[in-house]
Amino acid sequence: MSIKCLLTPVMTGALALAMALPAQARDFRLGLITPPSHKWTQAAVAFADEVKEQSGGEHSISIFPAQQLGNEAQMVQQLQTGALDMAFLTIAEISNRVPDFGALYAPYLVDNIDQAAALLRSDAANDLLNQLPAEAGLVGVGYGMAGMRQVMSRSPAKGPDDLVGKKLRITPFEPLRDFYMATGAAPTPLPLPAVYDALANGQIDAIDMDFDSILIFKFYERADNLLISNHMMFPMVGVVSGRVWKDLSKEDRQLLQASMRKHLDGVIDHFQQQESQQEQQLRALDITIEEAGRETFAAAIDDWEKIWSAKSKSLPNLRQAAADIKSN
């Protein structure tokens, strides 16, 4: 018996009417933590413009950058209740709620930005998104990213030994905290907008950061030692509230999904293209630069693996996908 045979004539009529209804005009809201000058925010604006154009002006998306709607934890709560429609989120907050995502922050999972881009476009990474509706009430549309993570410090640092006991700013999430705890540093969670002042007033000694943010926010003015370590990638995810998604028409879902994916993918391209140029920009500044690779962090990586191989079942799968990328 087909599903249709089970429907009463009234139900069939209601279903037909619902399917025939034109999509309802909506003004969606999209929140993110980055300021207007950041590529993530620019991509959100371009996405909003495209949705407006492709829906013939029917739908619009208002963008709320720079934590205007609260921090990521607060935005996730709003997404879960349907008070917020969409967001571009660091995986940081997602991994606090769905620990399996912590695998994306395995130290030296990838060695450089090109490998990070390839891994975020892999099936292994995209399969993780399937957990979001059930685990977090979110629909994960696709990944973007920022640059590879580095360390900037107020006093010179050649490796983890020079960071022992130092108050080192981290984005507030557990995999990164566990990594720095294992190095002997004192990880200090602070959201991005609070970092400049915390460096300026001596609240922190060092920061975990990417080249792009170091340049945009001029962190080198307050900490003039850069340790190029490339120790982690920094994925971002574009999400839609599950509550909002379930009430969207098929056409609206397709429009939002295709357009958001395109602009998130453009963010990956952007960071991939600018990474080495930004490294050169930083090398041209009057700051001290050191380099440290995986071997310098070997002991911390071992400790991290012990904790996170128990917390994230997807770690072996992601490591394999990364190994395949490295061998190609």
Pair 309, 315: CB distance under 8 Å: yes
Q: Of 171, 188, 296, 314, which one interacts with ligand BEZ (CB under 6 A)?
A: 171
CA distance 19 to 179: 51
Report the site for ligand BEZ in 15-34 (rule: CB under 6 A).
33-34
Nearer to ligand BEZ, 192 or 321 (CB): 192
What is the DSSP pairing of strand 149-153 with strand 60-64? unpaired
Nearer to ligand BEZ, 87 or 248 (CB): 87
Report the site for ligand BEZ in 64-103 (rule: CB under 6 A).
90
* Piece in contact with ligand BEZ (CB under 6 A), picked from 77-85, 198-206, 207-215, 309-317: 207-215
Is 209 among the residues that bind ligand BEZ (CB under 6 A)?
Answer: yes
Nearer to ligand BEZ, 129 or 190 (CB): 190
- Strands of the 149-153 sheet, one edge to the other: 186-189, 167-170, 206-210, 149-153, 225-228, 288-291
Nearer to ligand BEZ, 74 or 317 (CB): 74
Taking the CA atoms of 269, 274, 275 and 276 in sequence, report the sign of the dihedral they define: positive
Q: Of 213, 230, 296, 314, which one interacts with ligand BEZ (CB under 6 A)?
A: 213
Nearer to ligand BEZ, 94 or 209 (CB): 209
Pair 144, 40: CB distance under 8 Å: yes
Is 115 among the residues that bind ligand BEZ (CB under 6 A)?
Answer: no
Pair 122, 319: CB distance under 8 Å: no
Strand runs (DSSP E) across 112-233, as ranges? 138-146, 149-153, 167-170, 186-189, 206-210, 225-228
Q: How far is the CB of 8 from ligand BEZ (least distance, A)?
A: 51
* Piece in contact with ligand BEZ (CB under 6 A), picked from 21-29, 205-213, 224-232, 254-262: 205-213
* Piece in contact with ligand BEZ (CB under 6 A), picked from 122-130, 132-140, 156-164, 206-214: 206-214
56: left (phi over 0), alpha (psi -120 to 50) or beta: left
Binding region for ligand BEZ (CB under 6 A): 33-34, 90, 146, 171, 192, 209-210, 213
